[in-house]
Amino acid sequence: MDKIRLTRRFTFEAAHALAHYDGACRHVHGHSYKLEVTVLGQPLQEEQHPKNGMVLDFGDLKKLVTTHVLEKFDHALVLLQDSAPALIEVLQHQGHKLLLTPWQPTCEHMLLYIKEQLLPHLPQNVSLHSLKLWETENAYGEWHAADNL
Q: Which residues bind a copy of itself (CB under 8 A)?
A: 2-10, 18-23, 38, 40, 43, 47-55, 57-59, 103-109, 111-112, 115, 135, 137-144, 147-148
- CB 109 to a copy of itself: min, Å: 5
Q: Which of 74, 51, 30 is nearest to 123 (CA)?
A: 51
Q: Is 25 a catalytic residue?
A: yes
Q: Specify the residue, 47 or 86, whose C-beta has the smaller distance to a copy of itself.
A: 47
Q: Is 129 a catalytic residue?
A: no
Smallest Cα–Cα separation from 141: which of 118, 108, 110, 104?
108
Q: 75 catalytic, yes or no?
A: yes
Q: Which amino acid is at 119?
A: L
For the bound state, the minimum distance from the C-beta of residue 59 to a copy of itself, rounded and expressed in Å, comes to 7
Question: Taking the complex as a whole, how short is the minimal distance between the CB of residue 19 and a copy of itself, in angstroms?
Answer: 8
- 27 among annotated binding-site residues: no
Strands, E, within the chain: which ranges? 4-16, 29-41, 76-80, 98-101, 126-136, 139-144
DSSP state of 70: I
